[in-house]
């Protein structure tokens, strides 16, 4: 009787994970994966805007909330997708605008975007944008749109004559080239470097002064939390009160604004503002240089 020796067979371990993309018969091709991912993204967008496409949302506009002789007119660059979809200003829950407005004392209660229409009558605060067209981000605007929007904004300010025209640093950087030309032609002087706070010149044919502050977006690199920004809203309230004679005032043209980081921290600690989570829906804000007292020479 003969016994056959059978060699032992070593079992082959199956590799975990997805098979190599080269094996088309065993998995999806790169093109198929891209198509699946694009479909998922499109579904997320539709869910975000209640079934509307981005193109449909972009066709919407965001009306101004404005009247004559406001104390403060808040100026944005142009409507974002969520603002146009909601039909209100600053609707994203991650944005710090409404919280800072309340904590600084500019409003006597915590409001949200649903209250934007009531602000002119109750608090003499309004809203407008430089460019009316809705886009996913300000980078989608053309230079021509921005320059035309700057001219329309000037006409709007001359018509409604708010006490203070308040905007964020990103808009001023975009407008800085126009601002330099405006100063040279109107005042015969070279525009000073941009800094936070009160700007040196009034809007022509008005008594409107310009006030510059950081973006209220949580993606603003220099001031990512609400507690980092409240100080600027407090200074805005002080400027308004001085101009209205509610407190002993100095000549507005002589008011010197300087950002004191330690004071801002003390304000934040005193008010005990909860830190915010970064909101990925917001685009990054191009701020001034790391030192808030340094000026920016960025132009469009």
What domains appear along the chain, each with residue ranges and CATH number? 57-271 (3.40.470.10)
Q: Strand 197-198 and strand 209-213: pairing? A: antiparallel
pLDDT at 279: 39
The angle subtended at Cα 218 by Cα 267 and Cα 240, nearest 5°, is 50
* CA pair distance 33, 24, nearest whole angstrom: 12
Q: Tell me, what DSSP letter sits at residue 253?
A: G
User: In the numeric block, which tokens belong to residue 193?
Assistant: 């470097």
Active site residues: 78, 89
Long-range Cβ contact pairs of 202-205 (< 8 A, separation 24 or more): 203/154, 203/157, 203/158, 203/165, 204/154, 204/158, 205/158
Is pLDDT above 60 for 60?
Answer: yes
Query: Using one digit for the tens of pLDDT, what is the confidence trace for 175-201?
Result: 555 556 556 655 566 666 667 889 888
pLDDT at 160: 97
β-bridge mates for residue 72, sequence order = 125, 164
Query: Using one digit for the tens of pLDDT, what is the confidence trace for 231-261?
Result: 999 999 999 999 999 876 555 444 444 545 5
Residue with tokens 């998995």: 27
Burial class (CB in 10 A: 0-12, 13-18, 19+), 259: middle
Beta-carbon count within 10 A of 114 CB: 10
User: In the numeric block, which tokens belong to residue 74?
Assistant: 């808040």
When the pLDDT of each residue in the chain is averaged and rounded to a whole number, the result is 75
Query: For the ranges 26-30, 224-228, 231-235, 242-246, which has the lowest average pLDDT?
Result: 26-30
Q: Band of the pLDDT at 228, cuts 50, 70, 90?
A: confident
Binning the chain into helix, strand and coil, the percentages to the nearest 5 are 40, 10, 50
Mean pLDDT of 122-148: 89
């Amino acid at each position: 009787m003969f016994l056959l020796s059978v060699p032992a067979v070593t079992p082959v371990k199956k590799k975990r994970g997805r098979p190599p993309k080269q094996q088309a018969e065993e998995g999806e091709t790169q093109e198929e994966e891209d198509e699946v991912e694009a479909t998922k993204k499109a579904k997320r967008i539709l869910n975000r805007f209640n079934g509307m496409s981005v193109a449909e949302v972009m066709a919407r506009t965001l009306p101004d909330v404005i009247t004559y002789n406001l104390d403060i007119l808040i100026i944005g660059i142009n409507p974002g997708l969520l603002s146009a979809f909601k039909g209100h200003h600053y609707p994203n829950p991650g944005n710090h605008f409404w919280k800072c407005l309340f904590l600084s004392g500019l409003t006597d209660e915590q409001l949200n975007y649903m209250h934007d229409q009531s602000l002119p009558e109750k608090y003499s605060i309004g809203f407008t944008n430089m460019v009316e067209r809705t886009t996913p981000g300000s980078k989608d605007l053309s230079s021509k749109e921005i320059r035309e929007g700057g001219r329309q904004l000037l006409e709007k300010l001359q018509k409604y004559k708010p006490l203070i025209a308040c905007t964020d640093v990103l808009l001023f950087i975009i407008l800085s080239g126009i601002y330099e030309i405006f100063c040279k032609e109107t005042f015969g002087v070279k525009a000073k470097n941009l800094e936070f706070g009160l700007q040196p010149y009034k809007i022509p044919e008005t008594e409107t002064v310009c006030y510059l502050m950081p973006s209220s977006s949580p993606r603003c690199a220099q001031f990512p939390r609400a507690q980092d920004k409240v100080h600027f809203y407090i200074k805005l309230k002080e400027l308004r009160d001085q101009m209205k004679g509610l407190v002993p005032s100095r000549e507005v043209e002589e008011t010197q604004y300087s950002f004191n980081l330690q004071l801002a921290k003390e304000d934040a600690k005193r008010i005990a503002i909860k830190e915010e989570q970064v909101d990925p829906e917001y685009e990054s804000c191009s701020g001034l240089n790391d030192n808030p007292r340094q000026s920016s020479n960025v132009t469009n």
